[in-house]
Amino acid sequence: MSNKLVDLQHISKSYGDNLILDDLSLYIRENEFLTLLGPSGCGKTTTLRILGGFEQPDKGNVIFNGQDITSLPPNKRQLNTVFQQYALFTHMTIKENIAFGLTIKGKSRDYINDKIKYALKLVNLQGYENRMPDSLSGGQKQRIAIARAIVNEPKLLLLDEPLGALDLKLRQDMQYELIRLKNELGITFLYVTHDQEEALTMSDTIVVMNQGYIQQIGTPEKIYNEPENAFVADFIGESNIIGGIMLQDKLVSILGTKFACIDTGFGTNKPVDVVIRPEDVELVSPDKAALKGVVTHLIFKGVHYEMEVMAGGFEWLVHSTRMQPVGTEVGILVDPENIQIMNKPQSEDEEAVGVNE
């Protein structure tokens, strides 16, 4: 990865008494696919709109390619935005839609025609030049919106939940398309979504946000396998999050049963949060485990069975390719490296603040 392309410095934004972003700092490297992930109202779209020039921050600076662009209007920034609603001009043909930005810039007709052909080829819609937007499906409209942004050769493409209106199969197809486009074009992507699967599939870097604060920044693998707090663990994938006691380095008590783990540095007899992914819980016969329970629910999910097991007064979520019928007595085993230990937040504020580095 090369240089910083975007540097958001100490950005704060309120609407009336409602604080949306509180001293947020974040940078994006050139040619990176960075995703802002979080629930509705966490501040991710506001961050994108401030970067795009559609909103002004109350405090802080937006640095782009080494220049302060905080007060520049959107059309003076070297970036383009693709919104969820496509925002295509319904009275124009596809060709006219794609050419719109280039026409405003006064580019020659030959240049514009070349660019239209190139963009339509990139999004696999050759031959659609003279169609009208209302004759296209949702997925095709989204591709045209992306083509229209690409022809302007932005250094940065902002995408605000662009696949939210598409059905599952189309969404997955478009995820692969976006990865291919990023690799072919060398454009930097800032992607906003509340869909964890989208974030895990496409991103180089994920920024998990909650209540206007950054909770964790990392690769998809790091965010999934090593969440820094219970919010991240719960938001990315399904988790068993259980209160435990760190007895000493590499030994934790979960629901009164001792489990070996690989974490150190939490002290002795300290209350902690323990995260165990459902696929990391192994169900064995009761005589082979210290923690015993009973299967209470069972659903077939195609790739695996999803079971709920009541053990130690806690309802464990378990994913396994081996089915255990409801009512079966089982023992619970977890490999030490699959037990993730986290500090308990001291207060509700700390719970929201996360890391905010």
Tokens (6 digits) for 32: 């990176």
Query: In angstroms, what CA-CA distances link 261 with 63, 177, 239, 253?
Result: 43, 40, 17, 10
**pLDDT number for residue 355:** 45
Contact call for residues 220 and 58 (beta carbons, < 8 A): no
Domain ranges of the chain: 4-225, 239-353
Q: What are phi and psi of 69, to 5 degrees?
A: -115, 15
Give the C-alpha separation, 101 to 234, whole Å.
Answer: 42
Is 4-225 assigned to CATH 3.40.50.300? Answer: yes
Q: pLDDT digit of tens for each residue in the chain (357 aa)?
A: 458 999 999 999 999 999 999 999 999 999 999 999 999 999 999 999 999 999 999 999 999 999 999 999 998 998 988 887 767 888 999 999 999 888 888 889 999 999 999 889 888 889 999 999 999 888 888 889 888 888 888 899 999 988 877 788 888 888 888 898 888 888 999 999 999 989 999 999 999 999 999 999 999 999 999 999 989 998 998 899 999 999 999 999 999 999 999 999 999 999 999 999 999 999 999 999 999 999 999 999 999 999 999 999 999 999 999 999 999 999 999 999 999 999 887 655 555 554 433
Summarised one tens digit per residue, pLDDT across range 119-163 is 898 888 899 999 999 998 888 888 898 888 888 888 999 999 888
Give the C-alpha separation, 36 to 47, whole Å.
Answer: 9
Contact call for residues 141 and 86 (beta carbons, < 8 A): yes
Is 239-353 assigned to CATH 2.40.30.40? Answer: no
Summarised one tens digit per residue, pLDDT across range 156-188 is 999 998 887 778 888 888 888 889 888 888 899
Calculate the dihedral angle through the C-alpha atoms of 165, 169, 174, 180, rounding to the nearest 10 degrees.
170
